[in-house]
Structure 1
Amino acid sequence: MPENPAGALLQVADLVVDLPGGKSDLRVVDGVSFDVPAGTTVGLIGESGSGKTMTALAIIGLLPGGAATGGQVVWRGEDLLHAGPTRRRRVRGHEISMIFQDPLAALNPTQRIGRQVGEILRRDGVPRGEAGRRVVELLDRAGVPDPVRRAREYPHQFSGGMRQRAMIALALAGRPSLLLADEPTTALDVTVQARILRLLRSIQERDGLAMLLVSHDLRVVAHVAGQVVVMYAGRVAERGPARQVLDRPAHPYTRALVRSVPAVRTRTALAHPLPGAPATPANRPAGCPFHPRCPLARERCRLEVPAIREVGPDRWSACHFAEEVLP
């Protein structure tokens, strides 16, 4: 089980996800562990292809063509990986909801926004009139202007920011305790990003929700998350309090990520892009998966997979030489 599980709504322990990949399955999530305490935000960060979204989809049981083949997803003491399909459907939307990164793709283009937001209400047997009133309230809470009129419109009539607000309203319809937000500000301009993040924070504070924020944008995570989990090549590279991890990384990958984003590391315009290409499930190197791009790599890194270990109070790193990375 993940360390320090006290008070956790969600515990992910040694999660493994395999996807079909030609001659053999591809391991896209490999032994991932973390927990999400009630009322907190945990950031799940890393480059594209690091396994962040697959981890979130495994939690909610929406893996496309693959399966969680190992580990545990413990929700309020119940392992969802061993729950039946009826129970998992009940958890989705009612207890755990997901905000998808592309609302235009996630929303049905042939149905009005109000009908989509109200689907879970109708499924629960809420009378039509009451469901209509609740839909308007949800859209209003999500910051959609003139919600009565906009509920009758279609997704293509909404801007990108408004579609994301509609997705947030849909996610809140079942009154969940945990939101999985997968790149909720992708493809939005900076001003709209800030508004969406403020909205998510205000909803979380008002309703006491927990949130798992999946993002490759360290600036977003730095402003929202209390804890972060850094993923690389399907594994956890580092985890701990967000401010400490981003200010004093304990893994060369995290340090390289921070140096590549000026707003996280410094107020200057200088940045240092990561060298090389990210490892993928199909070409994951032996030993530490980051070693081909790591300036500290040694022979041990090429041969031995580093176990994640505690390197300070509530600080965990999967680096053989984490103590040398910490400033």
Structure 2
Amino acid sequence: MSRSFDMTDQAPAARGAQPAPLLSVEHLSIDLPGRDGPVRVVDDVSFTVAAGRTTGLIGESGSGKTMTATAIIGLLPPGAAVTGRMLWHGDDLVTMTEQDRRRLRGRGIGMIFQDPQAALDPTQTIGRQVGEILRRGGMPRKEVHRTVIDLLDRVGVPDPQTRHAQYPHQYSGGLRQRAMVATALAGSPELILADEPTTALDVTVQARILALLRRVRDEEGMAMLLVSHDLRVMAHVADEVVVMYAGRICEIGAGREVLNRPAHPYTRALVVSVPAVRSKTAIAEPLPGSPAGPAERPSGCPFHPRCAKARDRCASEVPRMRQVAAGRQVACHFPEET
């Protein structure tokens, strides 16, 4: 049964010409220390993020999407080894000094974490945390106060004059996430990394946060890299979609095209596993098997043990990314059969 993802409420940027990349990730690979030696958790990943647009990284748990975003912001765990390039205004984030990285965080690249309750300091007021980067930049105290109030108001925190002095435990889950958005915006970044920003929220609050992210992107003209396992989130926000499985990219393309006409069997399996956005009668078809972890990645195409169309070649030969249409790439030996 086909699924049709309604993306008509997206920003006009989703339908315009692709602007120049703000961030270019080129052949990124990440190895983490393992019991029996290094484990490759991200393998030869390449994609771009353009100003004013949202690129979505999607895949099941262990696909490498969060690790990719973590590498961009420079917060990989100790012992991680990174190869490839991540070009930001021509500067390579991979070789950038930690001092330059710290200057970039917040002002060049902002971060919205998955769990605001864990990310926010319970001993500091919301206003103090939102204004931290402003104080570090030397902004006068009175101006910091005014700016924090304005930021909280812009992201929809009610009565910001009072609530800026409250602590995270006095905020609901949705308001904590709004406070995280305000914190990410405080440094006027060009790129926001949003890691599963709506996972812990109920459906109604999710919709409000997604609408907020779209509005902020459009008003500020910034880029967004959205990490999520939820195709419904991507359908509402992402201009471009990068589908990942077992640390590798299996499909890249415009969000509408990828979600409505998947070219990779894994993308199709994701789509049919989610009830349709438009159709109330669609029946979910769960993915068979379990996701392949980086430490036990199968030979050949990592998805082949779960793929109904797999052949002998799929088990022995790694498929390379190839263009199947304008702006559309897929890593599959037989994409015409999907």
| Common fold: TM-score over 0.5 | yes
Q: Map 1:73-84; keep pairs closer than 5 Å.
A: 73-84=86-97
Instruction: Tell me the distance in 2 between the aligned counterparts of 1:182 and 1:114.
Output: 22
After TM superposition, the runs of 4+ consecutive aligned structure 1 residues lying more than 6 A away are none
Residue equivalent to 1:88 = 101
Instruction: Tell me the distance in 2 between the aligned counterparts of 1:226 and 1:277.
Output: 28
Task: Say if 1:114 and 1:107 are closer, same or farther in 2 by CA, change over 3 A.
Answer: same
Q: C-alpha offsets along residues 63-109 of structure 1, whole Å, 9 cap, x if unaligned? A: 12343521111111111111111111111100111100100011111
Residue equivalent to 1:54 = 67
* Shift, 1:127, TM fit: 1.2
Letter in 1 for 2:302: P
User: What is the SS of the residue equivalent to 1:134?
Assistant: helix
Q: Select 1:299's aligned residue among 295, 312, 323.
A: 312
Instruction: Tell me the distance in 1 between the aligned counterparts of 2:315 and 2:220.
Output: 47
Deviates more, 1:125-134 or 1:276-285: 125-134
Instruction: Tell me the distance in 1 between the aligned counterparts of 2:68 and 2:18.
Output: 18
**2:294 paired with 1:278:** no
**2:139 paired with 1:134:** no
Task: Say if 1:211 and 1:154 are closer, same or farther in 2 by CA, change over 3 A.
Answer: same
Instruction: Tell me the distance in 2 between the aligned counterparts of 1:128 and 1:313.
Output: 51
Letter in 1 for 2:127: G
* Shift, 1:264, TM fit: 4.4
**2:15 paired with 1:8:** no
Instruction: Decide whether the 8 Å contact of 2:32 with 2:81 is kept in 1.
Output: no
**2:225 paired with 1:212:** yes
Q: Select 1:254's aligned residue among 252, 267, 291.
A: 267
Instruction: Decide whether the 8 Å contact of 1:13 with 1:32 is kept in 2.
Output: yes
TM-score by length of 2: 0.93
Q: C-alpha offsets along residues 235-258 of structure 1, whole Å, 9 cap, x if unaligned? A: 001000111111111100000000
Residue equivalent to 2:12 = none
Residue equivalent to 2:48 = 35
- Unpaired runs of 5+ residues, structure 1, are none
User: What is the SS of the residue equivalent to 2:324?
Assistant: strand
Residue equivalent to 2:241 = 228
* Shift, 1:21, TM fit: 1.1
- Number of residue-to-residue matches in the alignment: 322
Residue equivalent to 1:188 = 201
Q: C-alpha offsets along residues 266-323 of structure 1, whole Å, 9 cap, x if unaligned? A: 4424010000000001111111100000001111111011111111111100101012
Q: C-alpha offsets along residues 137-160 of structure 1, whole Å, 9 cap, x if unaligned? A: 111111101112111111111100
Q: Map 1:65-214; keep pairs closer than 5 Å.
A: 65-214=78-227
Instruction: Decide whether the 8 Å contact of 2:30 with 2:83 is kept in 1.
Output: yes
**2:330 paired with 1:313:** no
Instruction: Tell me the distance in 2 between the aligned counterparts of 1:30 and 1:294.
Output: 20
* Shift, 1:49, TM fit: 1.2
Letter in 2 for 1:125: G
Task: Say if 1:39 and 1:5 are closer, same or farther in 2 by CA, change over 3 A.
Answer: closer
**Structure 1 vs Structure 2: percent identity of aligned residues?**
67
